[in-house]
Structure 1
Amino acid sequence: MPTPQLPDEGERLQKVLAGAGVGSRRACEELIADGRVKVDGKVVSRLGTRVDPRTAVIHVDGKRVMLDDKVVHLALNKPRGVLSTMSDEQSKFGRARPTVYDYVAERSERLFHVGRLDVDSEGLLLMMNDGELAHRLTHPSYEVDKTYMAEVPGPVKPAVLRRLLAGVELEDGPVKVHKVRISDTLGQRAVLELVLHEGRKHIVKRLLAEVGHPVSRLVRTRFGPIRLGHQRPGTVRRLTSHEVADLYKVVDL
């Protein structure tokens, strides 16, 4: 495949890649020479190729490289009792409640949250100023996995798990889980791990209530390829370049 014609102005591709944290200048030159780098969808193998980092879309080994350091991607471990909104309308009545904005208020970027968690739910909430990525992560057609741990009354019979996998009819239409398993038992309680593509309001709680196991605690532990891990409640961290690349890949960007 011939190398595409790219502008003579701009910065050398290996310099742009090195500046984005892909590797040393020498390592980036080897990636280019090996045909592992695409610019705007086309393989570039000529060293010295120049690109405009403001507009170029660059992939290395199929993963997009983030070039704009003004684009921010964050992970918040949302505590229970915090609203998934950037402002609380009740504050005008002097009854302001904690919101996710409180955890990023000192940042200069205009951020928004991706999807939401109920006020009494906990766990991973992505926040960013990357509109196209956020749109795709929440659009049903991309079927991005969301993993939850739900504490419910036990025991949970195998027939309930089969019903969840087969699909349950709710008032706003059918829903089924992609995966489900019993993660733990706590006396008369059980912890279910569920993976859904759905993002409808209160979907996990409504689904489990419908099959006779109302949720007493709900934690989102994963959103697509991003894991909550051991991140402490109420803390915010910036996603690594590899995590951002994985997010782009899962929604074909």
Structure 2
Amino acid sequence: MSDRDPFTAPEGVRLQKVLAAAGVASRRVAEQLIVEGRVRVNGKVVTELGSRIDPENDLVDVDGTAVQLDQSKRYVMLNKPTGVVSSMKDERGRPDLRRFTNEWPERLYNVGRLDAETSGLLVLTNDGELAHVLAHPSFGVTKVYIAKVEGRVTPQTVQRLLRGIDLEDGRIAADKARLLSSSTEGGGSLVELTLHSGRNRIVRRMMAEVGHPVVELVRRQFGPLHLGTLPAGRARELTKVERGALLTLARRATGDAPEPRDGSDPRSDQENE
């Protein structure tokens, strides 16, 4: 983040022009947003229409949501199907992620991993800083999984997942857990787990430890991103709203943005196997 003062810096590009180029609003509407005090540059409210910024270094947010100024960065959501490994080039020749990135000229990388048997939401990007925040467990970005498991899961088992269980690599507890369905006739159960851990195959190991091996596993949510109705094997670019949510999360996690004005938790609307 730049230490320049946007109120006094004579160089750079006019703020309303930057906002319009980023797709936030037309230049006239962007001017209104500035005058109303809804735009911040490097955490400071800017209300002067003559303000100029450096789009390559300054951080801008509107109503507390980060604005993507670097248009070279690409953010893609993939619904990874089963049978595909989370790698851009698999040395063993297994199906990998390259088949899903052909339409984008940038060299994209996956954020974190889903094992071959797990399907669901995977983020592909060329933004290394954002990828680090999303993937590293120290930043607390949550992921939500739906697991179809063997046996009838009881409320007591759900409470055990929440209290924590001991695995060979240490104790682990779900951030949230709830039972979606449980068959009384041997049809298995559906469990929703929310975790911020990035440990290998953690959901499968947790459920096996409590006596309910995973039959099918899908990741439905990653941070503020929801899989929605995206079909398996399809990829799409994130919307402007989704990009803003991701960038806002990343800036707050690294201390490059002020807290939201309403005092809400930036992770309250969020979700590696």
TM over 0.5: yes
Output the CA distance in 2 between the equivalents of 1:239 and 1:121: 22
CA offset at residue 240 of structure 1? 1.1
Aligned 8 A contact 2:67 2:247 in 1? no
The runs of 5 or more residues in structure 1 that have no matched partner are 91-95
> Is 2:82 the counterpart of 1:77?
no
Output the CA distance in 2 between the equivalents of 1:185 and 1:237: 34
CA offset at residue 4 of structure 1? 4.4
Equivalent positions of 1:1-253 (< 5 A) are 4-90=6-92, 96-185=93-182, 187-188=185-186, 189-251=188-250, 252=252, 253=256
Deviates more, 1:231-240 or 1:28-37: 28-37
Output the CA distance in 2 between the equivalents of 1:161 and 1:221: 19
Question: What's the CA shift string for 1:35-69, capped at 9, x where partnerless?
Answer: 11111222211002122222221111111100121
Identity over aligned residues, as a percent?
49
* Closer/same/farther in 2, CA of residues 6 and 243 from structure 1, 3 Å limit: farther
Output the CA distance in 2 between the equivalents of 1:6 and 1:246: 29
CA offset at residue 115 of structure 1? 0.7
Output the CA distance in 1 between the equivalents of 2:9 and 2:103: 39
Partner SS state of residue 216, structure 1: strand
Aligned 8 A contact 1:36 1:43 in 2? yes
Output the CA distance in 1 between the equivalents of 2:104 and 2:155: 47
RMSD: 1.4
Partner SS state of residue 194, structure 2: strand
Partner SS state of residue 101, structure 1: helix
Partner SS state of residue 53, structure 1: coil
CA offset at residue 105 of structure 1? 3.3
Output the CA distance in 1 between the equivalents of 2:99 and 2:174: 33
- Structure 2 equivalent of residue 93 of structure 1: none
CA offset at residue 106 of structure 1? 4.2
CA offset at residue 155 of structure 1? 1.1
Partner SS state of residue 229, structure 1: coil
* Closer/same/farther in 2, CA of residues 6 and 56 from structure 1, 3 Å limit: farther
Output the CA distance in 2 between the equivalents of 1:35 and 1:4: 14
- How many residue pairs were aligned? 246
Partner SS state of residue 193, structure 1: strand
Corresponding letter in the other structure for 2:244 = A
Output the CA distance in 1 between the equivalents of 2:114 and 2:218: 9
Deviates more, 1:203-212 or 1:42-51: 42-51
Output the CA distance in 2 between the equivalents of 1:158 and 1:5: 57
Aligned 8 A contact 1:4 1:43 in 2? no
Aligned 8 A contact 1:6 1:51 in 2? no
Question: What's the CA shift string for 1:216-241, capped at 9, x where partnerless?
Answer: 10000000110001001111100012
Aligned 8 A contact 2:158 2:178 in 1? yes
**TM (normalized to structure 1)?**
0.93
Question: What's the CA shift string for 1:87-133, capped at 9, x where partnerless?
Answer: 1112xxxxx21101221034221111111000010000001011111
Output the CA distance in 1 between the equivalents of 2:198 and 2:86: 14
Output the CA distance in 2 between the equivalents of 1:35 and 1:51: 16
Question: What's the CA shift string for 1:191-240, capped at 9, x where partnerless?
Answer: 11111111100000000000000001000000011000100111110001
Output the CA distance in 2 between the equivalents of 1:232 and 1:100: 16
